[in-house]
Chain A
Amino acid sequence: MTCLEPISELKLEGITKRFPGVLACDGISLEVRRGEVLALVGENGAGKTTLMNIIMGLYRPDSGTIYVNGEPAHFRAPGDAYARGIGMVHQHFMLVPNMTVAENLAMGLKQLHHFMRLDLKGAAQQIREVSERYELPVNPDAYIWQLSVGEQQRVELVTTLCLGARLLILDEPTSALTPQETDDLIERLQRMASELAIIFISHKLNEVKALSDRVSILRHGAVVFNGRTANHEPSELAALMTGHDVTLPRNEGSGLQGQPLLSVKNLCVRGDRGNLALDGLELELRAGEILGVAGVSGNGQREFADALAGLRPVESGEIRFEGRDLANRSPREIIASGMGYVPEDRQTEGIVPSFSVKDNLILKDFASRNFSRFSFLRRKDIDRNAEALKERFDIRCPSINTATGALSGGNIQKVILAREIARGPKALVAVYPTRGIDMGAQEFIHSQLLERRREGIGIVLISEELEEVMNLSDRIAVIYKGKILKILPAVEATRERLGILMAGLVDTDRPPAPATPPLPVAGAAHD
């Protein structure tokens, strides 16, 4: 398999893949050739990952054929796909943190392995060549842990290219990047596209619009749309993706803001490695407002949310909630005081995955008089509660007895949100509430948050999605290295300004109003 010509065209014809009880791919046909970027979009569970695993040889299709340069190809393992020039960059980086860039490449490149000797110089040489050719600056001697997320992304691209890939499959490559890094990556990919074929998987339609030449939309395992990206608006693509019109709701700014509810003063909290992850954080939340906390993840958001929920010891400072200091109280006391929490890690912290939907809906209240009497659970009331919440929050599950971990991310999030809201909290902390969630569920979750705001609940919305923060918040606080760098009203926020603040640069020397167009958030919902 050595001297095959490099890939210039990949064609899938009628790819069908069935798993027990699920039709993951239903007669999918696609085509992508050199010099072209194909965007593959679809909601979670639409079959994107399965299809890519088929292309990479991890799964074999039940029927259908893969053609490379017009000839049928049979891939039994990722190595076969690489041999024909197909490479994949996964959403979660496949890099060993305590090895250098060159060492990471050497792991996958057999010709560098000689008897008793590893040719690391050769690896470094290859990396330099590829990074010059594709304008992807990478230092082969840097350790992975020293690199920022954006740089790690470049390393992934370079190593994939070094392994001989000329067709790149990029699985949600921007999900961990800052806005600046995202723009930078898209620019680089545009330049690279002339020599390569790229399949770009995403559900961020503005990126799809910016990068791709053609777009294919998957729904329920089938291609429902093929077209040139330039001819279609993002809202149109969103509708095709979800099967109905999608308009993400926005905070109209009306409504009265009530009393101060939560005030955090000089909060210091240690991170997992003993470093001071929160270093004098201060903010104040009023009833009936959504306070967005924007920032690149890893700047203390997790520690902040943990401290608010009582899951992490507070070093110093206070968390005053309706006049009571909640710092270092137990989770149970904090829950009882009326604090709701939608955690970042919804799969293992927000729910017990193996528990049924109905059992997860009472995770915080099973001992209350509504659901138990004399420490015996009242199954009928638990069932009734679950049926009612399933209806009200549009939780799509086969039954309330289904294991919650088997649901899609969006539905898991709805279970969590249903539980937290049904408890009637006074304040709600929501961390990355729509990360990785498809647009339909996102729309629902956003409108739920806005509705709770109208009811007078104070909401802390921690997110790195700028659109989300700008759409929903009344005020936006930018968190950087464990401190709030600046708090600004949402109407004064723009993508650019927030991006600069999130990178840690204070913009006080810049007058906000003249430098940016008035009300620039208008129309920012999609593009």
Chain B
Amino acid sequence: MTKQKLVYGSVVVVAVSLIAALLVALVLYAIGASPLATYKTILTGPLSDMFGVTEVLVRSVPLLLVGLGIAISFRSGILNIGAEGQIQMGVLASTAMALAFPHLPKAILLPLVLMAGALGGALWGGIAGWLKARLQVNEILSTVMLNYIAAQVHTFLLRGPMLDPNELETGSGTPQSMRLPEASFLDQIVPGTRLHTGLILALVAAVLVWVLLWKTTLGYRMRAAGAGAKAARYAGIPVERYLIIAMLLAGGFAGLAGAVEVTGVHHRAIEGISSGYGFAGIVVALFGGLHPAGIVPSAVFFGILLIGADMTQRSAGVPANMVLVLQGVIILSIVSAQSFLRNPYAQERLLRWLGGLVPTALRSKKGVQP
């Protein structure tokens, strides 16, 4: 019985994905690109050489970290849209830490820098959590607004107090911080590429999140608070406290993603460093079913999409922003598939409609007999 339901659910999900692909194909067609060629470039191009593969993984690392944080907050009943701002706070905090203690040995400085990033993000996420728990402020509003504030703080610091003195001298004016001391860099895994040990960190984090959510009492409390606040309160779980903890953790993972981007890839804070990972991370988490085992492949998949989109821009002249369209369509299709699966009347109507399309002779085979 449950197996049938699982198969049925998967069929719906696959069907919805195909519809999503079709919708994007329409958009591609409208801008004059060949949908098939574009899809082929996006999906196979990035994996055709070693460089592509490492670049995909470089993109997957922040996506994975952010996605894990999103999973914690969503599982705890908070729709955290604020990862973008939390990343930026993590970037600032980790950069400040690295620049403040440039002479510390690597074994001390690198962990300190990563922790500072996580703390910065946690603080930013914690504000929204506290507002929600104590004052019932809607977390969607507060996290979105905090994103704007974080963006302004980020801009202000990088153009003012934290601006690289060299930029002032040369007058080129790129809003970025000084280059970090080498003791704060994440090592490269594959020499000659940008792939860094942040990948290992993120994979370990995925395992830890799984253990936290499903193997510990803290995870049980957070999931109970998220999945049924009323029942959790009834069972003596102080729901509000776990909302705050969940947001601290979610912000912490986003902040860590920012710190990893700084120490692993850019080696300094620059404007636009988060490049939308905070929003893409939400899609990654939802596409991965809010479970680490799903989020890991989902992060790689979206890494492929990001690199693939860059490639189509160069080869087929399709703007890389098409990936944003793809992301939007994927979110819409996941959400509609979920509500479709919850609504028996809609399922009935669709089956009826499909039944009308199938010729009479085939009906008994499909099991639809309107």
Contact = CB atoms under 8 A, between A and B. Distances in A.
Contacts of A18: 367
B2 interface: yes
A260 to B, nearest CB: 25
B355 to A, nearest CB: 9
A62 interface: yes
A144 B217 CA distance: 47
A63 B355 CA distance: 13
Contacts of A363: 224, 231, 235
Given A330-B236, A331-B236, A398-B1, A348 B369 contact: no
B228 A355 contact: yes
A384 B288 CA distance: 31
Contact of A21 (B2, B233, B348): B2
A355 B227 contact: yes
B2 A335 contact: no
Contact of B1 (A22, A60, A311): A22
Given A309-B234, A311-B233, A350-B231, A355 B224 contact: yes
Interface string B253-269: 00000000000000000
Contact of A350 (B218, B234, B352): B234
A71 interface: no
Contacts of A62: 368-370
Interface of A is mostly: loop
A309 B218 CA distance: 23
Contacts of A334: 236
A62 B344 CA distance: 15
Interface residues of B, number: 32
A523 to B, nearest CB: 38
Interface residues of A, number: 40
A34 B271 CA distance: 78
Nearest to A50: B344
A377 B235 contact: no
Contacts of B365: none
B5 A341 contact: no
A303 to B, nearest CB: 15
Contact of B236 (A335, A348, A352): A335
Contact of B216 (A21, A352, A375, A398): A375
B8 interface: yes
A26 to B, nearest CB: 15
A375 B218 contact: yes
A309 B230 CA distance: 13
A367 B217 contact: yes
A33 B231 CA distance: 46
Contacts of B369: 62-63
Interface in A342-390: 343, 345, 348-355, 359, 363-364, 366-367, 372, 375-377, 379
Given A363-B235, A364-B235, A375 B1 contact: no
B233 A331 contact: yes
Given A21-B2, A63-B369, A376 B216 contact: yes
B170 interface: no
A326 to B, nearest CB: 13
B4 interface: yes
A348 B8 contact: no
Given A60-B352, A348-B228, 19 more contacts: A18-B367, A20-B5, A21-B4, A22-B1, A330-B236, A331-B236, A334-B236, A335-B235, A335-B236, A343-B234, A351-B231, A352-B227, A354-B227, A363-B224, A363-B231, A375-B217, A376-B215, A398-B1, A398-B2
Q: Top 6 A-B pairs ranked by shortest CB distance?
A: A332-B236, A352-B228, A21-B4, A331-B236, A21-B1, A363-B235
5 contacts: A22-B1, A354-B227, A354-B228, A363-B235, A376-B215
Interface of A: 18-22, 58-60, 62-63, 309, 311, 330-332, 334-335, 341, 343, 345, 348-355, 359, 363-364, 366-367, 372, 375-377, 379, 398, 402
Interface of B: 1-2, 4-5, 8, 215-218, 220-221, 223-224, 227-228, 230-238, 344-345, 348, 352, 367-370
